[in-house]
Structure 1
C-alpha cells in the first residue's frame, strides 16, 4: 500500500490523497470525510461529492450509482437494500428500499403439482426477480436529507458508463467466468464485451452505453426516470417476453419507506441498525446482549470458549429470525421489544451450556433455548453525518438476466422468501409464515448496515455483503471493536465464524483457527466446516478526542478501497 499525506495546518486544511493497491491491512486516516466501498473508483466519486460541499447522504447516493457501473456483481439499480443515517445532531433514521414481490406473486408460485420447488425457479429465471427498490430509496433519502442537486449526484455514474473506465484484473476474472456460463442468460453473453466483440481486457476501457442512457433518464427525471416512462415500459416488455411477471403497475406502485432504527446498547455504546424486513438489526442486538451478559471481554479472543459462546449466540439469533421475522407491513405482531430486551438475553444466556453444543431442532425453532451477492459501503462527512448502506442483487450478478436496451442486471431476491409454506428442514429451508410470498410484500433480508455511537457521535460505521453470513460478520466485527478494542483494520481481518441455526454446522475461516481448538469444539458437539472467507467488510471508526476518522476495506475485496479527504 502506498499513501501520501499532505497536511496544511496553517490554513486549517487537511487532505489525504491515497493510492490504494488491494490491501486493507493498514488503516487510512482523514479529518474531513471518508468513503469506504467495494470499488475504489466509486469511493473516489463519493469523496469528490464531499469536496464539492455535499453531505454524507449526497456522497452515498453518488457512490451507490457509481457502484452500479463499476461493481456490477452487486452494485445495482436492479435490486434493493437498506440505509442507516446518523446526522450531526446524533439523530438516526433508516431507509428501507428492499425489493417487493410483484402483484401477481403467490405463496406457492415456485411449486410444482407435488408441492416441490420447480426448476429452482425461486432463484433462477425471471420469476425470481423482485420489484427493484434502489432508485426509489436513494431518491427518497435525497429528498429528505440531501444537500446538492440530484442531477449532480447521478452525473458521475453517467459519465463513467458513457466514457468508460479501466478494466481491472478482478473485474476481468469475473467477466471471463460469467461469460462462460449458460448463453441463454442473454445480457451476460456480451455484457463485458467491447466494440471488437471480445471481453474487455485489463488496462483497456470498458464502456456501457445502454446503462449510460438509463442513468441519464434517472439523472433527468429522478425516481420517475426508472419507475415510469421508457425504462418502465422496457422492463414490462422484457418481462412479458421472457417469462417474468413484473409490470408497469408494479413499478409505479413501488415506494421506499423511512423507518425508525432499532437501537441497542453494549457497555456504554449505542448500536443502531435496520429494523425488519431486515433481520440483521434484531439478530445483531440480540447477540450483543448475550455477549454483554457473558462479559465477553473476559474471554480470550479466538479461544475455544470464545468460539463456542459466539456460535451459540448465533444459533439462537438465527432461530428467532426464522420463527418471528418478516415484512413489518404484513406482520404486525412481531415481538421485537422482547427479542431486543436485556431480560430476554439473560434468559437465553442461562441456557447456554459452555461445555456442550446445543441442538438445532427445526420442529421447535428457538424454544429449547428459552428457559454470496451484496455490497456495502460506509460514508462520513466533515460535520459528523454518517451513512451505513448495504444493497444487493442477491446472488452475484443477480438472476444474470436483463434487457440489453437498459444495460443493468435484475436481482433474484424472491429466493429470500420462504418457498414452501410450512416446511422447515435440517438443510436450512425455512417455511414459517412471517416470510411467505405475498403480493407487494418485502422479503426478509440479512443485510445489517450498522452505526455505533458514543455520546451521540459516530464511533463505528460498518457493514458487509455475504448473504446470511452478513449478520454474523458484522456482529463479530462490532464485538472486536467494542469488546476487544481492536483497531478497525484488524477487526475486519480477524478470524470469523458462522452459524445460522440450520443447517447445524459451524463455518470457520481456514488457517485462522488452531487445530487444537477445532478438535475441542468437535468433541463438544459442533460440526465444523472450513471455508476460505466470510464477509467483505467496509468500516470507519472515529476518534472524537483527535477528531480523526480511520477507515479500512476488507483485503478480500480485489477492487475495494478507501478514499478520504
Structure 2
C-alpha cells in the first residue's frame, strides 16, 4: 500500500476550517503508544506501559487522568464504550453507557427546555466500566492506575490554549450550578484563565483518592454516593441509591463487517456506531472510490448519500437491545445493495423521501476518544462522554466532578421526528434502566488477522461520520495516518437535510450545491488514531490538532 507523507498533510491542513492547526507528523514507536486529547494523560498512559502495564491498564489510567485534565469530556460522572483487542483473542466491547433512572419514563422529558441541571443526569457508568475492563484484562493493581490522576488533581496542571479558552467560554454560559463556577472559575470566576495558569482540584483529588484506596464501590456507595444523591436532590433530579446499586457495565459482542478484505470491528447497540460504520462501508464497497478520487464532487456526494441512508436506518431501528429488537439485516451486504438502489450520482435524495412512514414535523454536544497499544500488541479504543461540553455543568458539591446530561440523548418527544434533527421514534424512547442510544464509534481495523488501525472520535452524531472519513482515507485513499486524520471531513445525519463540510474548495462546494446539497461549514471531530505498519510492526500515533492532543510512545 502506497503512503503519502509530509507535503500532503500540510496541504490538507491548509484547506480545513476552524482553529488554526499545526502541521504534524505521526509519532512512531515500537513498544507502546497512547494518543489522546490531553498531553498530561498521554504521558500518564505511557508511564503505566513502561511500568509493565498493558493497554487496558494504561487506558484505565488515561481515563481517570482525563477526568482531571480534560474536564469538558473526560469524566467519572459520565459513561462510554471501550473496545479491547487482545493480542491473541477476539475483540470485545465493554458497554458502560449511562442508564435512565427508574423514576423516568417516555414522557418525563417531553417538555424539557434545558439540559443543564440535575434532572438531565443519567446514572454514571464510567467507574464501573473501568473496573470491568481492569478485572477482565488488567495486570497492575487498581490503586496504581488511579494514583496519577489523584496527583494531577492535587498538584494541578498547566492549562493549554484549548482548555483555557474552553473554560472561559463555558463559565459564562447559563445553566449548571454555582459549584461549577467555583471549582472551575479562576478566583471564583472573576478572572479569565490564561495559558500556563495552574488548575488544581482538591475536592476531586479526595474523590479519586477514595476510589483509589477503596475501589470502584466507593463511587456508588458510602460518602461519595451520599454527596451525589444530595446534589441530585438539590435540583429535583431522578437518580436514587437503587439506581447506583443496580448499575452494571456489560460485555457485548462487537459488530463485525468486511470491507474490501479488511475486517472492521465496531461497538454494538446501544451504540449505533458499529452498525452504521459497517452499513456505510457495505454500501461504498460497490463503488471504486480510489478511481473516483478522494475530493471529487461525485465521491463527496456519494459519501453524503450513504450517510443519509444509514442515519435514517439508525432512527428507525436502533436502541438499547434490552428494550428493542434490532434487525439482523442492517449490516448485511444485501441490505446495503437495496439501500444504494435509490442513489443518484447526479443529484441528492431528499431526506424526507427516506422517512418510510415516520411522520416528519416542524418544531418550535462533548465526548473524547483515545487509542492505546502496548508492547505485546494488545489494543484499546475507548470513547467516553459527559454528553454536552462539560455535561450538565453541574459539579457534585464536595466531590469535585461534573455530572453528565446524558438523558438528552434519548428521543425526547414520543412520535415527533423533525426536519431540524429531533427524533421521536420508539427504539430510543426513555424507559427505567434503559441505556440511551449513542453515536460513539471506537473502531478496530484488521488485515489478514493483524491489527492495522485503532480509531474513534468525539462529536455527537458527527462521530460516526468522522470515523468513516478516517477509515476511508486509510483504506481507499491510501493516506498515511496523520494525513488521514488531518484531511477535511464531512457529515450528513438525515435530518436536518444539510451537508456539513470542513473543506473550503469553492469549486467543490459549487459542484455539490449544483447536485442539490445545502452546504454548511463546521469543524468536525477529534480523531486520535494509531496505524500499525504491517511490514515493520511499528506504531504510528496521530493526534488530531483540531482541538489539542498528543501521541506519546516509547
User: TM-score, normalised on structure 2?
Assistant: 0.92
Given candidates 204, 224, 227, the residue that maps to 1:211 is 204
Give distance in 2, aligned partners of 1:183 and 1:505. Answer: 29
CA contact (8 A) 1:24 1:561 kept: no
Partner of 1:275: 268
The Cα shift of 1:525 comes to 1.5
Give distance in 1, aligned partners of 2:232 and 2:271. Answer: 27
Matches for 1:25-44 after TM superposition, within 5 Å:
25-44=24-43
Partner of 2:515: 524
CA contact (8 A) 1:302 1:513 kept: no
Q: Does 1:341 align with 2:332?
A: yes
Q: Does 1:253 align with 2:246?
A: yes
Q: Does 1:119 align with 2:113?
A: yes
The Cα shift of 1:435 comes to 0.2
Partner of 2:433: 440
CA contact (8 A) 2:118 2:231 kept: no
The Cα shift of 1:22 comes to 7.7
Q: Does 1:136 align with 2:135?
A: no
Give distance in 1, aligned partners of 2:158 and 2:387. Answer: 26
What number of residue pairs does the alignment pair up? 528
1:410-466 CA distances to partner (integer Å, 9 max, x unpaired)?
111100100111111111111110000000000000000001111222100001100
Give distance in 1, aligned partners of 2:188 and 2:255. Answer: 51
Given candidates 114, 126, 144, the residue that maps to 1:152 is 144
Matches for 1:82-481 after TM superposition, within 5 Å:
82-111=81-110, 117-120=111-114, 123-182=115-174, 185-193=177-185, 201-331=194-324, 333-335=325-327, 337-361=328-352, 364-365=355-356, 372-481=365-474
Q: Does 1:541 align with 2:531?
A: yes
Give distance in 2, aligned partners of 1:159 and 1:274. Answer: 32
Partner of 2:5: none
Partner of 2:11: none
CA contact (8 A) 1:54 1:147 kept: yes
CA contact (8 A) 1:100 1:441 kept: yes
The Cα shift of 1:24 comes to 5.9
Partner of 2:45: 46
CA contact (8 A) 1:398 1:412 kept: yes
Partner of 1:10: none
Give distance in 1, aligned partners of 2:109 and 2:183. Answer: 28
Residue 535 to residue 64, structure 1, CA distance change in 2 (3 Å): same
Give distance in 1, aligned partners of 2:185 and 2:301. Answer: 48
Q: Where does structure 1 lack aligned partners over 5 or more consecutive residues?
A: 1-20, 112-116
Partner of 1:16: none
Give distance in 2, aligned partners of 1:481 and 1:426. Answer: 33
1:270-319 CA distances to partner (integer Å, 9 max, x unpaired)?
00010000001100000011111113222111101001100000001100
CA contact (8 A) 1:24 1:489 kept: no
- What CA RMSD, in Å, does the superposition of the two structures yield over aligned residues? 1.7
Give distance in 1, aligned partners of 2:489 and 2:440. Answer: 17
CA contact (8 A) 1:505 1:529 kept: yes
Give distance in 1, aligned partners of 2:97 and 2:330. Answer: 22
Give distance in 1, aligned partners of 2:381 and 2:154. Answer: 28
1:190 aligns to what SS in structure 2?
Answer: helix
Give distance in 1, aligned partners of 2:28 and 2:528. Answer: 14
The Cα shift of 1:352 comes to 1.0
CA contact (8 A) 1:274 1:448 kept: yes
Give distance in 2, aligned partners of 1:430 and 1:498. Answer: 17
2:45 aligns to what SS in structure 1?
Answer: helix
Residue 519 to residue 23, structure 1, CA distance change in 2 (3 Å): closer
Give distance in 1, aligned partners of 2:314 and 2:189. Answer: 47
1:536 aligns to what SS in structure 2?
Answer: coil
The Cα shift of 1:557 comes to 1.8
1:454-504 CA distances to partner (integer Å, 9 max, x unpaired)?
122210000110000000000011011011111111111111111000111
CA contact (8 A) 1:32 1:382 kept: yes
Give distance in 2, aligned partners of 1:366 and 1:487. Answer: 43
2:183 aligns to what SS in structure 1?
Answer: coil
Partner of 2:547: 557
Partner of 2:493: 500
Give distance in 2, aligned partners of 1:193 and 1:240. Answer: 24
1:25-72 CA distances to partner (integer Å, 9 max, x unpaired)?
211100001000000100000000000000000000000000000000
The Cα shift of 1:196 comes to 8.4
Give distance in 1, aligned partners of 2:378 and 2:279. Answer: 26
Q: Where does structure 2 lack aligned partners over 5 or more consecutive residues?
A: 1-19, 359-364
Residue 107 to residue 218, structure 1, CA distance change in 2 (3 Å): same
1:519-557 CA distances to partner (integer Å, 9 max, x unpaired)?
2222222111122x1111100000132120101111112
1:62 aligns to what SS in structure 2?
Answer: helix
